[in-house]
Amino acid sequence: MVQTHHCEDHETVGENKEKRPKFFINDHVDILIEILKRLDGRSLCVAASVCRLWCTIARNDSLWENLCFRHVSPPPSSVRSVVLALGGYKRLYTGCVRPVRSRLGRMRKASWAGDEVQLSLSLFCVDYYERLGGSNSNGRLVGESSPSSLMFLCKPVNV
Amino acid sequence: MVLYDSATLGGSCSGSSSSSSSSKPPPLQQRQQTQQDIDGLLAGAGYRVRSSELRKVAQRLERLETAMVNSPADLSQLASDTIHYNPSDLASWVDSLLSEFTQPPTCPSEFIMDPETNQTVVSDAWTTAEPHMPQVHQNISYEQQSLNNQLTVVTAMEEDSGIRLVHMLMTCAECVQRGDFSLATSCLEDMQGLLTRVNTVCGIGKVAGHFIDALSRRIFQGIGGGTINGGSAYENEILYHHFYEACPYLKFAHFTANQAILEAFDGHDCVHVVDFNLMHGLQWPALIQALALRPGGPPLLRLTGIGPPSPDGRDSLREIGLRLAELARSVNVRFAFRGVAASRLEDVKPWMLQVNPKESVAVNSIMQLHRLLGSDLNRNSPIETVLSWIRSLNPKIMTVVEQEANHNQPGFLDRFTEALHYYSTMFDSLEACTVQPHKALAEIYIQREIANVVSCEGSARVERHEPLSKWRTRLSGAGFRPLHLGSNAYKQASMLLTLFSAEGYSVEENDGCLTLGWHSRPLIAASAWQAVSDGTADFPA
C-alpha cells in the first residue's frame, strides 16, 4: 500500500499498474538503520539533514553507541545506563570520543582503542559534573562560563 | 623559556665551564683533553672538533637550529644553491651555514660570537659579559623565538635586555639575602626600567615581571605575606579551576591518583576516600564513573572532603558534596559525603573523618603536604603529626602529588634561583594554552605561588615544595612504603597528554612514580604509598 502511495508521487495514476514499483529506502526503515549504523560521525550528521525521517533516525542514540564502540569489543551492559545518565551517546561521541580519537590518531596503537573509550568516558563524566554546576549555581560560579573542561579538546579552528 | 643550568646563573658563580646539558646531539663531554686537540668521542662519530671549541660549536648549532626553524624559506634556498663545506669539520660547517642566515639589514647589531674570545663582537651594552652568559642567551632566545611566531627576528636589544634582567634578578636576590636592601632597591628600579624595553607579553619578560613584583613585595612589605596570602577561599577556588582548565598538571594528578585508588579498591565493597583539598571536587566524577563501571558493580563510596571554611555562611563543601551525590545517583553508585572545614590541614583530627573500621580507606593529597613543612619550634612538626595520624587510619593507599621543585631550601638565593627555573618552565608550557580566560587566571594562580615562595617567610610561606627524592625519604621514614603506579596509569597519562595540543609535555616513570614535565623538566610528581603494617594498627575513637 505504501508503495502505491509513493508511486503516485512520481507518475500519473493511470500508469501505476504498468510500471515496476520503485524501491524507496524510506519504506524500509530497518534497512535504513542498518546502513546509517555503519556511517562515520560526520556522515551521520550530514544524513540527519536529508529529511525528517532520517533526522529522527540519526538522533537515535543507539546509532551513536555503535559509533563509539565500533572498534572496541562490546562493552558491558552497565555502560549504557551510565552513558545515558551522563547525557547520551551522541554527546559522548561528538564531545569526547571523536576529538580523542582524532588527536590520538597520530600515535595510536591498536591496544589503545579500549582505553581511548575509557578516557573519553572519564572526560565525559567530568563534563557532566561541570554542567551540573552550571545549572545549579546559586551565584557561586558567577562569571564562570558554561562547561569548559572539554575546551582543551577543541581546536582553535574547527570546521 | 627554559633556563637549563642553574650553575650558569648567579652573579657569584665562577666562570668555569659547566656541564653542557643544553647542547643538542651529539652530546658533548667536557673532559679536558689537553694532549689531544680533537675531541675523541666526536671523532668516533666522524666529526672533527677541537676540544677547546666544543662549547662554542654547540652554541652555534643551537643558533643554527633556531634560525632554521624560523625561516623555512631560506632553508629551501639553502638546499638548492649553497656550497656546503665539509661537514666533518663541524666548526666551520656550522659557521658557513649560519652566515647564510644573516639577519636582515634592519637589525644591524647582530650577535656574532667571536671564536677567540667567546665574547660578543657587536654589542653596545655588554661590557662585562661573563663567559657563561652567552649560553643562557642562546637558550632564552631559542625559546623566545619558538614562542613568538610573529617575531622571526628577535632584536639584539631585546635579547640583551632579557639577559640583563635575569642577571639583575640574581643580583637583587643576592642583595636581599645579604640584607643589603638599599642596593636591592636600586636594582629593582633598574629592572623596572628594563622591563619597559622587553616584551612582557610572553617569555622572559613576563616571568621576570612576576619575580620583580615578588621581590619588591618582600623588600617593601616585609615577609608576612600581606595581600598575597589574603585571597579568599572563593577566589582561590576560581583560580584553581582555571589552572585546571589551562594546563594538564592537575588533570594528570587527578587521573593518575584515581587510577591508583581504583586499583587499590579492587574487590572491596565499602570504600572511603579522604580528600585533603576538595576545591570543586573535580577529581571525583571520574572515579565515581570508573567505580560505577567496574566489573562486579560499584562499591559503597564515602567521600570526606577537607577544605577551608567559607566565611559568608555558604557551606561550599556541602554544595560540592550535593553535586557529587547527584552525579553518583545518576550512575547508580551508593554515595555518602562528609565535609570537614579546617583552615589548616594540621588542625584536622582523625576522629573528624569518622573512619569505619570495616571500610578501605584511601587518602588523597594533591599539593597539600608541602604546606605542612613549615616548622614551628614551639610545637611538633606538623608534617609528622599528620603523617602519623594518616598511618593510624591504615589506608589501603595514599596518593601524593607534589610539585617537583626544591623551593624549601633555607638559603634565599638558592630558593630564588630554583623558583626562577621552575616557574619559567611552567610559564613556557602555559604559552601553549590559547583558551581565555583560563590562561590569564591560571597565570594569576601561578603568580601567587611565586609571590609566596619569594616574598614570604616563616608561617606565611606555605609553598614549601620539595622534590620527589626528599618526599620518598620523608614518607619512608614515617612508616610508608611505596606502591608502584603501574602501566595503566602510565598509559592513561600518556593518552591524556597527547590530547593537549601542545607538544612539549612528557610523562616519565621514575621508579614507580610518574612525573609530568615540560620538555624533559619534570614539574609535578605523582606517587602512591601504603602504610607499613606493624601489627598495631589502631583506629581512632
What contacts B121, CB < 8 A, 6 or more positions away? Answer: B112, B113, B114
Residue B272 Cα to chain centre, angstroms: 31
In terms of domains, do B433 and B336 share one?
no
In terms of domains, do B486 and B371 share one?
yes
Q: What single letter denotes the amino acid at residue B165?
A: L
In terms of domains, do B486 and B520 share one?
yes
In terms of domains, do B238 and B355 share one?
yes
Within-domain flag for B101: no
In terms of domains, do B216 and B358 share one?
no
Q: What is residue B301's three-state secondary structure?
A: strand
pTM reported for the whole predicted model: 0.71
pLDDT at B194: 83
- Asked if the model's pLDDT at residue A37 lies above 60, the reply is yes
User: CB burial class (10 A; 0-12, 13-18, 19+) of residue A124?
Assistant: buried
Tens of pLDDT along chain B (541 residues) come to: 444 444 333 333 333 333 444 444 444 443 444 445 778 778 777 788 887 778 778 877 877 777 677 665 555 555 555 555 677 777 777 777 776 664 333 333 333 344 444 443 333 333 333 333 444 444 444 444 444 444 434 556 666 777 888 888 999 999 888 888 888 888 888 888 888 877 777 678 889 999 999 998 888 887 776 665 666 778 888 899 999 988 889 999 999 999 999 999 999 999 999 999 998 999 999 999 999 988 888 999 999 999 988 877 678 889 899 999 999 999 999 999 999 999 888 889 999 999 988 999 999 999 999 999 886 666 678 898 899 999 999 999 999 999 999 999 888 999 999 999 999 999 988 887 777 778 889 999 999 999 999 988 888 888 999 999 999 999 999 999 999 998 889 989 988 888 876 688 899 999 999 999 998 899 999 999 999 876 544 444 3
CA distance A157 to chain B (A): 11
Within-domain flag for B10: no
In terms of domains, do B373 and B522 share one?
yes
Query: Which among B483, B484, B474 has a CA at the least distance from the CA of B509?
Result: B484
pLDDT at B8: 39
CA distance A82 to chain B (A): 5
User: How many residues are there in chain B?
Assistant: 541
Cβ–Cβ of B332/A100 closer than 8 Å? no
Q: Which of residues 107-146 of A touch B (CB under 8 A)?
A: 107, 112, 115-116, 118-119, 121-123, 125-126, 128-130, 132-133, 136, 138, 140, 143-144
Q: Residue B271: which H helix or E strand, with range?
A: strand B270-275
pLDDT at B434: 74
Distance, in Å, from the CA atom of B397 to the CA atom of B391, rounded to the nearest integer, reads: 10
pLDDT at B407: 92
CA distances in angstroms from B447 to B48, B253, B402, B434, B463, listed in the order given: 47, 20, 18, 18, 12
Distance, in Å, from the CA atom of B488 to the CA atom of B494, rounded to the nearest integer, reads: 10
- Asked if the model's pLDDT at residue A146 lies above 50, the reply is no
CA-angle at B7, arms to B470 and B164, nearest 5°: 125
Chain B residues in contact with chain A using a Cβ-Cβ cutoff of 8 Å: 234, 238, 241, 244-245, 248, 255, 258, 280-282, 285-286, 288-290, 292-293, 295, 297, 314, 316, 319, 322-324, 326-327, 330-332, 433-435, 438, 491-492, 495-496, 498-501
In terms of domains, do B397 and B417 share one?
no
The answer to whether B399 and B259 are in contact (CB under 8 A) is: no
Question: Total domain count for chain B?
Answer: 2
Cβ–Cβ of A129/B498 closer than 8 Å? no
Query: Which among A117, A55, A112 has a CA at the least distance from the CA of A92?
Result: A117
CA distance B154 to chain A (A): 26
Q: Residue B470: which H helix or E strand, with range?
A: helix B468-477
Residue B171 lies in domain: 149-221+413-461
Quick one: DSSP state of residue B502? -
CATH of the domain at B294: 3.40.50.150
Single residue among B461, B480, B499 that ends a domain in this structure: B461
Query: Which among B41, B62, B286, B77 has a CA at the least distance from the CA of A122?
Result: B286
The answer to whether B154 and B144 are in contact (CB under 8 A) is: yes
Chain B residues with beta carbon closer than 8 angstroms to that of A107: 498
Cβ–Cβ of B501/A152 closer than 8 Å? yes
Does residue A92 or residue B121 have the better pLDDT? A92
In terms of domains, do B254 and B331 share one?
yes
Within-domain flag for B69: no
Distance, in Å, from the CA atom of B439 to the CA atom of B243, rounded to the nearest integer, reads: 7
In terms of domains, do B334 and B424 share one?
no
In terms of domains, do B215 and B194 share one?
yes
pLDDT at B228: 57
What contacts B361, CB < 8 A, 6 or more positions away? Answer: B271, B272, B273, B274, B355, B393, B394, B395, B396
Within-domain flag for B265: yes
B301 is written with which cell numbers?
Answer: 563510596
pLDDT at A149: 63
In terms of domains, do B188 and B266 share one?
no
pLDDT at A117: 80
Q: What is the CA radius of gyration of chain B?
A: 26
Q: Say if the ipTM goes beyond 0.85.
A: no
In terms of domains, do B282 and B393 share one?
yes
Query: Which among B525, B520, B524 has a CA at the least distance from the CA of B243?
Result: B524
CA distance B251 to chain A (A): 10
